[in-house]
Amino acid sequence: MTAPAAAVVLTGIGKRFPGVVANHDVDVSIRPGTVHALIGENGAGKSTLMKILYGVQAPDDGTITVDGETVTFSSPTDAIARGIGMVFQHFMLADNLTVLENVVLGAEKLHGIGGGARREIRAISERFGFGLDPDVLVETLGVAARQRIEILKVLYRGARIIILDEPTAVLVPQEVDALFENLRVLVAAGNSVLFISHKLDEVLAISDDITVMRRGTTVGTADPATATRLQLAELMIGEELPSPETTESTVTDVAQLQLKGVSVFASDGREVLQGIDLTIHRGEVLGIAGVEGNGQAELVEAVMGMRTLSGGTIHLGTEDISGWSNRRVREAGVGYVPEDRHRHGLLLDAPLWENRILGHQTRKPNVRGLFVDRKGARRDTDRIVGSYDVRTPSIDTTARALSGGNQQKLIVGREMSGDPVLLIAAHPTRGVDVGAQAAIWDHVRTARHEGLAVLLISADLDELIGLSDRIEVILRGRLVGEFDPRRVTAQELGSAMTGGGEAA
């Protein structure tokens, strides 16, 4: 924190909301020409800090200094004028417009909307190796290219300090490498990058400085040259941390879930699953690796009885469950942690105890006959809140008020209730903080030890490798290779996921 000519210095930043301190005594110093990583659990105050730096919110205490000059921002426009740009996690691009149109939108004054703008975009793209053609429609581009457009957008507006919020969450390993390559060129040209991430390996790989936040304040800095992943994680959550590694195998030879030749057509007639064969045994975690949109969601929905099979059979234990309704599948003992917990896993405006009932509304302890058993459901919600460490003031709190990690812990607790024989977990730790992630991994391992079969879908390759007993790779609706997680590397998986390699 000693660099005299820091690009940005945040000193003693504090921000209070009624009843809660979001930030206090935050000190961050970003050196010019570096990638500075900001890490911390969800709720550690990273977003508030970003909003302050980007002018969305004004701090109550502290000062912001840009290039040695103290500044106050009353809106993002002020921040942009000072050369601070932000790339949000969710892209804000219009699909039906070209790259050029997306970039100039709202910045028409800078270089016009025609030739000048096109030249400028080409120049930026070439300088930093973005490889973007200004006249291509955005809808034809992949996720990685869209992200580069977002970065180009802020550069176009003159940003020299670029905030990236969880930029790698949507990328496969190869794309992450490419992004990092772009970032290195960016900082070599004198720009600074504030890199916000959960993924500690990536943080260690790209950053020059690391600042750790916990409970609203900066708790320390680390040197990526010497720090380890574990040290960082422990600094983030303030306690010792388990790793996702599964110790001994608990796989039995009793098949719990068996898919034979399962095919599914999408409503537009495309075959989204083609001849899937897979078996999960009791006590086994089968991981499915794949770039999103290659049939994972359809696979889950097929097993859950939410999609009609166009071919093949699904057996749960010895029973043929092909064609069963979702409710019947659930009643047979299948737990389901959905990919999108807000859309599929929770009633956001309902209290926690009612969310306990969701998906289990035909089973004890939630119902008695045709009636809802409020007492039973409430008591069992208390149990879940206790044993899964759901941080909530009460079980009458609405699900919406909880943080992502706590919502997910509630869902996992619910789906583990009633002795399931099979758990389908789609991205179970996506968007949850490290503490909750560790807890969820722990619960999966414990249940697996007790004979639970688990179908694990995840975009987090570390999670897949750490938790799975076996990994299948899905590509364009087919299983294209099986890997042993004890030997495979993230690079190999990434390559198979994109169709670049064959099964080991």
Partner 1 sequence: MIRRGFFSLLPAVVAVVLAMVVTGLVIALTGGSAGQFYSTILSVPIPRVSVTIVNQTAMIAISAFAAAIAFRMNLFNIGVEGQYIAGSCAGAFFAGSGLVAGPAVIPATLVVAVVAGAAWASIGGFLLVGRGVSEVISAIMLNYVALTMAGYLVNRYGVASGYTFTTNPLELNQQPVGFQVVDGPYQVWALAIIAVLVAIGYWVLINHTRFGFDLRASGASSTAAAASGVDAKKMTLIAMALSGGVAGLVWMPAFFGSVHKFGIPENFQSGLGFTGLAVALLGRNRSIGILVGSLLFAFLSAQSNDLQSVGVAPEIISITQGVVVLAVVVAYEIVRRLQIRREQESVARELASARPTAEEASR
Binding residues (CB under 8 A) for partner 1: these are 17-22, 43, 215-216, 219-220, 238-239, 304, 306, 325-328, 330-331, 336, 338, 343-350, 354, 357-362, 367, 370-372, 374, 391-393, 397-398, 400-403
Q: How far is the CB of 342 from partner 1 (least distance, A)?
A: 8
Q: Residue 168 CB, nearest distance to partner 1 (Å)?
A: 26
Comparison of 17 and 131: residue with beta carbon closer to partner 1: 17
Q: Which is nearer to partner 1, 71 or 358 (CB)?
A: 358
Chain CA centroid to CA 237, Å: 18
- Identity of the residue, 108 or 349, whose beta carbon is nearer to partner 1 in the bound complex: 349
In the complex with partner 1, which residue's Cβ is closer, 205 or 401? 401
Measured CA to CA, the distance from residue 215 to residue 394 in angstroms comes to 21
Nearer to partner 1, 250 or 355 (CB): 355
- Determine phi and psi for 261, rounding to 5 degrees: 55, 35
Query: Of 400 and 486, which CB lies nearer to partner 1 in the complex structure?
Result: 400
Q: How far is the CB of 403 from partner 1 (least distance, A)?
A: 7
Beta carbon of residue 19, minimum distance to partner 1 (angstroms, whole number): 4
CA dist., res. 141 & res. 60, Å (int) = 42
Pairing of strands 478-483, 470-475: antiparallel
Cα separation, 262 vs 240, in Å, equals 43
Is 56 or 401 the residue whose CB approaches partner 1 more closely? 401
Instruction: State both tokens at 224.
Output: 């990526």
Give min distance, CB of 316 to partner 1, in A.
15
150 close to 93: Cβ distance less than 8 angstroms:
yes
The least distance separating partner 1 from the CB of residue 267, rounded to whole angstroms, comes to 13
386 versus 499: smaller Cβ distance to partner 1: 386
| Rounded CA separation 244/324 (Å) | 34
Q: How far apart are CA 395 and CA 504, in angstroms?
A: 48
The Cβ of residue 127 has, within 10 Å, a number of other Cβ atoms equal to 12
48 C-beta neighbours (distance < 10 Å), count? 22
- Pick the closer one to partner 1 by CB: 66 or 402: 402
Smallest distance from the beta carbon of 425 to partner 1, in angstroms? 14
CA-CA distance, 45 to 26, in Å (whole number)?
Answer: 10
d(CA 179, CA 205): 12
Structure tokens at 206: 């790209």
Please report the sign of the dihedral spanned by the C-alpha atoms of residue 408, residue 345, residue 142, residue 191: negative
Q: How near is the Cβ of 222 to partner 1 at its closest, in Å?
A: 14
Q: Are 55 and 64 spatial neighbours (Cβ–Cβ below 8 Å)?
A: no
> Six-digit token pair at 494?
């990434």
Q: Toward partner 1, which CB reaches closer, 136 or 401?
A: 401
Residue with Cβ nearer partner 1 (279 or 397)? 397
At position 284, the amino acid (one-letter code) is E
DSSP state of 139: G
From CA 319, how far away is CA 251, in angstroms rounded? 20
Residue 259 C-beta-side C-alpha neighbours within 13 Å: 25
Q: Say if residues 45 and 23 touch (Cβ distance below 8 Å).
A: yes
Nearest-approach distance from CB 124 to partner 1, in angstroms: 40
Residue 79 beta carbon to partner 1: minimum distance, rounded to whole angstroms: 26
Asked if 286 and 455 count as a contact pair (C-beta separation under 8 A), the reply is yes
In the complex, least distance from residue 122 CB atom to partner 1, rounded to whole angstroms: 43
